[in-house]
C-alpha cells in the first residue's frame, strides 16, 4: 500500500504544486484588497464552495480513472482488502489537498501575523483546517459519485448541503465537518468493492446511504416546489406581486408607508388621545432603528456575522475587534504600522461580549462610532481616542438593535424595548432616571419592521411580526402598537392579528413531504449550535392529515416495490417501516438504491 500511496502522490504532484501556487497568488491578491481574516459568512461560504468544487473534481478524476473496465480489476486484484486500497487512495488525495489548500492558507495567516498589524486570532488558525476538511468532503463526494453514479451521488450532495447550511460556529463547526467527512468516507468504503453497483449489505451500510439519499430526494422536492412558486409569481397571483395585496393580510401591512401603517394602527386602536397622536405622526416622519441584528455574534466564530472593523477617518486608523484580547486593535491606514489596543475606559478593560461597530448613530459627534457589546452600547470618542459606555439595559439581555428617535435613545433586546431620554451632555448620554421597558410579545426573528415616532412625553412604536409568516414557523402575523412615557409607564395600545396571505399548503411545504425527515434535518442544521429562540406552533390539522396520507401511501408503494424486487421478510419489513416513517423521500431513496431480486438491502 505504501507503493500505491507514493505513486498517487507523484501522479498528482505537479497538479498539487500548480494549484498551491494559484491558490497562494489568489489569496495574496485578495488580502491586498481586503482583510481576508475579517470577512463575513457569505464570503467564506463562497470560498468554501471553491474548495469543495476542487475536491469534487479531484475525486471524480481519480476514482473515475480507476473505475473504468480493466483498471478497476487491476486495482482490486491485490492480496489486501478493498477498504485498505480505498483508504490509501483517499490518504494520497488528502496529501494533495494539504498541499493545494491547507498550506497556502497557513502561509497567508503566518505572513499576516508576522509582517502586518492586522488581527490574527486563534480562530483564524482554525480556518486552514476547516478549508482542508471542506475540500476533503468535496473529494469524498466526488469519489462516491464516480463509484456509484449520479443516482446515488444525491446522498453525497445532501451531505455537502448540510455543510453549507449548518449553524455551528468555531470549534463546533470543525466537529460538524469531521462528522461529515467520516460519513462520506464510510460511503466510499462501502462502495469500494468489485461489484460497485451492488446494494449495500447489512443494516448499517444501508442506513448510511439511505438516510442522506432520502435527504437528497427531499431537497430535490423542495427545489421543485420552489420552481412552482416561480410559475406562481409569473402567473401574477402570488401575494408578493399582485397589484392589490390581500386585504387584512401581512403583505398589505408590509407594503404600507410607515406613516400610513402607524395611522391605520392608531385608528384601529382608538386610544382616548387619538387626535394628538395622529397629529404627532403626521408632523414627524416615522423612523426605525439605526441597526438591528438578526443573530448575536459568537466569540471565536470562524466567520463574522457583521463587519468587526471601523475606520477613524480623522486619525487614519482602522480598528478591528480581536476575539482573543476582547479589545480593539489599531492599524494605521497610511503606513500599516500597529497603533495599539483599545479597551473600555481609561484602564482599557476587555469587552464583556463581542463588540460590533454600528457606525455613526444620530446624536453622536462627527467622527464618533457606536459599538454594540452585550447589554451595553458604547461610544468611541475620536477626539480622545477612548471608548466609554453610553447606555445599557438589563443585565443578561444582549442588545440587538439601537437607534435615536428625536431626543431619546431606543434600544431593543430579544425580550424588550427600552427607551431612554437623552441628556444635554456631550455625547448625549441618557439623562438621569431609569428607562422605560416594554416587553416584546414575539422573538426578534419574527419582527419584520419597527416604526418609531417621538412624542412630547414618550415614543410611539408600531411593530409588525410577519418575517416568517410564509414559512412553517406557524406563528400568526401580528401588528403591535406600543406607547412609552418618560416617567417609565409602558402602554400596550393595540394588538391586531393579521391573516396569512399564503395557503397552508405553501407555508408548510418543507414539513408535509416528510415530518420526520424535516425534524431530523432541523436537528442536523442546529447540531452544536446556539439554541433558537423560536418555539414551534401547532400544525394545522389538514396539513397533518396530508402528511399522514403521504406516509401511508409511501408505505404501501414501498411494500409493492419490495415485492417486485423479491426482498426477504426482514429486509422488506425494514424498508416498509423506513418509508412509512420518512415518507416519499424515503420511497425515492428505496427506488434509487434498486435492491436486486432476492438480494438484501
Instruction: Retrieve residue 41's grid coordinates.
Output: 459568512
Q: Which residues pair with 401 in a beta bridge?
A: 292, 412
Q: What is the pLDDT of residue 425?
A: 47
- Mean pLDDT for 408-428 is 76
CB-based burial of residue 484 (10 Å sphere; 0-12 exposed, 13-18 middle, 19+ buried)? buried
Phi, psi dihedrals of residue 280, rounded to the nearest 5°: -65, -40
Confidence of residue 424 (pLDDT cuts 50, 70, 90): very low
Q: Which of 73-77, 228-232, 482-486 has the lowest mean pLDDT?
A: 73-77
Helix (H) or strand (E) holding 379: strand 376-381
Full-model pTM: 0.89
Whether the predicted pLDDT of 407 surpasses 90? no
Predicted confidence at residue 565, as pLDDT, reads 84
**Mean local confidence (pLDDT), 449-460:** 90
Q: Please tell me the predicted confidence (pLDDT) of residue 202.
A: 81
* Mean predicted lDDT score pLDDT of the chain: 88
| Confidence grade of residue 143 (pLDDT, cut at 50, 70, 90) | very high
Give yes or no for a contact between 511 and 544, defined as CB atoms under 8 angstroms apart. Answer: no
For residue 538, the model assigns a pLDDT of 83
Asked if residue 501 has pLDDT above 80, the reply is: yes
Tell me the mean pLDDT in the region 215-222. Answer: 94
Query: For 312-362, what is each residue's pLDDT tens digit?
Result: 888 889 999 999 999 999 999 988 899 889 999 989 999 999 999 988 877
Which residue pairs from 185-191 have beta carbons closer than 8 angstroms and sit at least 24 positions apart in sequence?
A: 185/90, 185/140, 187/140, 187/144, 187/155, 187/156, 187/212, 188/86, 188/90, 188/140, 188/143, 188/144, 188/147, 189/83, 189/86, 189/87, 191/144, 191/147, 191/148, 191/152
Q: What is the pLDDT of residue 433?
A: 56
The alpha-carbon radius of gyration of the chain (Å, integer) is 29
pLDDT of residue 224: 93
Dump pLDDT digits (tens) for 562-575: 888 888 888 889 99
Q: For residue range 227-265, what is the model confidence (pLDDT) as tens digits?
A: 998 888 888 888 888 888 888 888 899 999 999 999 999
Residue in this structure with the C-alpha cell 476587555, named with its chain if needed: 350
Count of C-beta atoms within a 10 Å radius of residue 128: 19
pLDDT over 80 (residue 77): no
Question: Region 259-281: what's the mean pLDDT?
Answer: 91
Q: State the Cα–Cα distance between residues 345 and 361, nearest whole angstrom.
A: 20
What pLDDT, on a 0 to 100 scale, did the predictor assign at position 83?
86
pLDDT digits (tens, 9 = 90+) for 92-136: 999 999 999 999 999 999 999 988 989 999 999 999 999 999 999
Alpha carbon distance 38, 28 (integer Å): 15
Share above pLDDT 70 across residues of the chain, in percent, rounded to a whole number: 97
**What's residue 598's pLDDT?**
45
What percentage of the chain reaches a pLDDT higher than 90? 53
Residue 533: the pLDDT is 73
Asked whether residue 597 carries a pLDDT value surpassing 70, the answer given is: no
Residue 189 grid cell: 468504503
pLDDT at 441 over 60: yes
pLDDT mean over 283-310: 89
Would you say the C-alpha torsion 86, 92, 93, 94 has a positive or negative sign? positive
Q: What is the mean pLDDT of residues 544-566?
A: 92
345 in the Ramachandran plot: left (φ > 0), alpha (ψ -120 to 50) or beta?
left
The long-range contacts involving 548-551, CB below 8 angstroms and separated by at least 24 positions, are 550/512, 550/513, 550/514, 550/583, 550/584, 551/514, 551/515, 551/580, 551/581, 551/583
Kind and range of the H or E run holding 163? helix 122-165
Q: Which three cell numbers stand for residue 388?
A: 466609554
Is the predicted pLDDT of residue 472 greater than 50, yes or no? yes
- The pLDDT tens digits for 361-373 are 777 888 889 999 9
Which has the minimum average pLDDT: 18-22, 447-451, 527-531? 527-531
| Distance from C-alpha of 174 to C-alpha of 179, rounded to nearest angstrom | 9
Instruction: Convert the pLDDT of each residue in 29-41 to its tens digit.
Output: 999 888 999 999 9
Is the pLDDT confidence value at 599 over 60? no
Model pLDDT for residues 147-176, shown as the tens digit of each residue = 988 888 899 999 999 999 999 999 999 999
The predicted structure's pLDDT at residue 600? 43
Q: What is the pLDDT of residue 323?
A: 94
pLDDT band at 395 (very low <50, low <70, confident <90, very high): confident
Which comes out higher in pLDDT, residue 241 or 301? 301
Is it the case that residue 13 has pLDDT exceeding 50?
A: yes
Amino acid at each position: 500500500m505504501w507503493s500505491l500511496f507514493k505513486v498517487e502522490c507523484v501522479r498528482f504532484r505537479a497538479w498539487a504544486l500548480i494549484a498551491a501556487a494559484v491558490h497562494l497568488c489568489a489569496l495574496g491578491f485578495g488580502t491586498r484588497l481586503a482583510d481576508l481574516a475579517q470577512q463575513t459568512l457569505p464570503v467564506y461560504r463562497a470560498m468554501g464552495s471553491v474548495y469543495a468544487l476542487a475536491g469534487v473534481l479531484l475525486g471524480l478524476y481519480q476514482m473515475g480513472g480507476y473505475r473504468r473496465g480493466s483498471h478497476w480489476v487491476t486495482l482490486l486484484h491485490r492480496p489486501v482488502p478493498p477498504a485498505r486500497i480505498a483508504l490509501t487512495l483517499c490518504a494520497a488525495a488528502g496529501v494533495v489537498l494539504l498541499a493545494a489548500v491547507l498550506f497556502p492558507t497557513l502561509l497567508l495567516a503566518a505572513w499576516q501575523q508576522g509582517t502586518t498589524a492586522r488581527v490574527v486570532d486563534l480562530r483564524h488558525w482554525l480556518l486552514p483546517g476547516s478549508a482542508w476538511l471542506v475540500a476533503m468532503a468535496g473529494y469524498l463526494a466526488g469519489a462516491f459519485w464516480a463509484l456509484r453514479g449520479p443516482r446515488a451521488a444525491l446522498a453525497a450532495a445532501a451531505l455537502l448541503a448540510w455543510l453549507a447550511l449548518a449553524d455551528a460556529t468555531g470549534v463546533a463547526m470543525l466537529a460538524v465537518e469531521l462528522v461529515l467527512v467520516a460519513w462520506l468516507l464510510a460511503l466510499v468504503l462501502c462502495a469500494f468493492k468489485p461489484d460497485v453497483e451492488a446494494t449495500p449489505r447489512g443494516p448499517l451500510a444501508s442506513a448510511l446511504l439511505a438516510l442522506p439519499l432520502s435527504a437528497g430526494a427531499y431537497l430535490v422536492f423542495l427545489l421543485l416546489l420552489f420552481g412552482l412558486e416561480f410559475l406562481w409569481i409569473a402567473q401574477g397571483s402570488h401575494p408578493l406581486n399582485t397589484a392589490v395585496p390581500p386585504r387584512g393580510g401581512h403583505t398589505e401591512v408590509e407594503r404600507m408607508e410607515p406613516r400610513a401603517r402607524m395611522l391605520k394602527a392608531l385608528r384601529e386602536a382608538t386610544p382616548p388621545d387619538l387626535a394628538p397622536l395622529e397629529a404627532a405622526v403626521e408632523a414627524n416622519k416615522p423612523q426605525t432603528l439605526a441597526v438591528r441584528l438578526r443573530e448575536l455574534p459568537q466569540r471565536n466564530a470562524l466567520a463574522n456575522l457583521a463587519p468587526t472593523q471601523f475606520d477613524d477617518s480623522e486619525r487614519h486608523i482602522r480598528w478591528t475587534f480581536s476575539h482573543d484580547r476582547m479589545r480593539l486593535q489599531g492599524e494605521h491606514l497610511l503606513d500599516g504600522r500597529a497603533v495599539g489596543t483599545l479597551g473600555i475606559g481609561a484602564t482599557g478593560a476587555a469587552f464583556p461580549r463581542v463588540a460590533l461597530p454600528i457606525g455613526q448613530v444620530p446624536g453622536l459627534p462627527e467622527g464618533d462610532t457606536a459599538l454594540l457589546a452585550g447589554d451595553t452600547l458604547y461610544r468611541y470618542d475620536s477626539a480622545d481616542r477612548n471608548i466609554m459606555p453610553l447606555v445599557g439595559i438589563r443585565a443578561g439581555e444582549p442588545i440587538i438593535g439601537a437607534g435615536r428617535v428625536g431626543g431619546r435613545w431606543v434600544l431593543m433586546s430579544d425580550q424588550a424595548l427600552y427607551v431612554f431620554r437623552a441628556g444635554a451632555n456631550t455625547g448625549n448620554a441618557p439623562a438621569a432616571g431609569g428607562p422605560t421597558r416594554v416587553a416584546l410579545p414575539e422573538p426578534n426573528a419574527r419582527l419584520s419592521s419597527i416604526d418609531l415616532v417621538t412624542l412630547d412625553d414618550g415614543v410611539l412604536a408600531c411593530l409588525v411580526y410577519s418575517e416568517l409568516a410564509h414559512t412553517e414557523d406557524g406563528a400568526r402575523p401580528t401588528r403591535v402598537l406600543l406607547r412609552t412615557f418618560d416617567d417609565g409607564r409602558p402602554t400596550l395600545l393595540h394588538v391586531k392579528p393579521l391573516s396569512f396571505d399564503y395557503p397552508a399548503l405553501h407555508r408548510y411545504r418543507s414539513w408535509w413531504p416528510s415530518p420526520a425527515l424535516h425534524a431530523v434535518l432541523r436537528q442536523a442544521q442546529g447540531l452544536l449550535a446556539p439554541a433558537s429562540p423560536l418555539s414551534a406552533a401547532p400544525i394545522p390539522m389538514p396539513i397533518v392529515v396530508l402528511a399522514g396520507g403521504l406516509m401511508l401511501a409511501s408505505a404501501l408503494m414501498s411494500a409493492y416495490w419490495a415485492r417486485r424486487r423479491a426482498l426477504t421478510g426482514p429486509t422488506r419489513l425494514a424498508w416498509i417501516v423506513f418509508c412509512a416513517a420518512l415518507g416519499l423521500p424515503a420511497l425515492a431513496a428505496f427506488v434509487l438504491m434498486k435492491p436486486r431480486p432476492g438480494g438484501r438491502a
